[in-house]
């Protein structure tokens, strides 16, 4: 299965939002190793939120490494039998959201999750790679409102 973000996205809980949804369309990604969507319509109650526009972007990009590394690129110590300098494949999910910081002046909220998988773990121990991702994404989802409160109040 490949990445295919379906529309609409059901947003996670945030203080002041009720049942947020995000309708999107496919967008031109920054490079051929990426898939990107642009949020074109909003649902639920989320007062003041803007959909994608040139002045206020709202995109989600999923990116894979340009060249997938393999365990064969690692250095095996002939004496200890332990690999050193094991390369990693880094995948990322990037959300860009324009936000006003003053009247008619927009900045960019940049949200990144990077996933670094040691070469070989994808096949030798896929279950533990998936478990780590499951827990990470689950914790972000579980604490979405708290993360939003912290990002807007500075209080952890």
Lowest mean pLDDT among 12-16, 32-36, 63-67, 77-81: 77-81
What Cα–Cα distance (Å) separates residue 155 from each residue in 147, 149, 151, 152? 10, 8, 8, 8
Topology given in CATH for the domain delimited by 9-153: MS2 Viral Coat Protein (3.30.380)
d(CA 59, CA 51): 9
pLDDT tens digit string along 17-67? 999 999 999 999 999 999 999 999 999 999 999 999 998 999 999 999 999
Residue ranges per domain, the chain? Answer: 9-153
- Torsions phi, psi for 48 (to 5 deg): 85, -5
DSSP-assigned beta bridge partners for residue 84: 75
């Amino acid at each position: 299965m490949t990445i295919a973000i379906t529309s609409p996205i059901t947003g996670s809980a945030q203080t002041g939002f009720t049942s947020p949804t995000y309708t999107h369309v496919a967008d031109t990604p920054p490079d051929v190793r990426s898939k990107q969507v642009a949020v074109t319509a909003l649902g639920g109650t989320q007062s003041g939120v803007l959909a994608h526009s040139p002045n206020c972007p709202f995109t989600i990009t999923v990116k894979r490494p340009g060249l997938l590394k393999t365990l064969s690129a690692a250095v095996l110590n002939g004496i200890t039998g332990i690999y050193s300098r094991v390369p990693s494949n880094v995948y990322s999910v990037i959300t860009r959201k324009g936000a006003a910081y003053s009247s008619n002046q927009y900045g960019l909220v940049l949200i990144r999750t990077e996933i670094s998988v040691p070469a070989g773990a994808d096949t030798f121990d896929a279950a533990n790679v998936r478990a780590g991702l499951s827990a990470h994404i689950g914790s972000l989802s579980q604490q979405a409102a708290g993360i939003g409160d912290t990002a807007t109040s500075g209080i952890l």
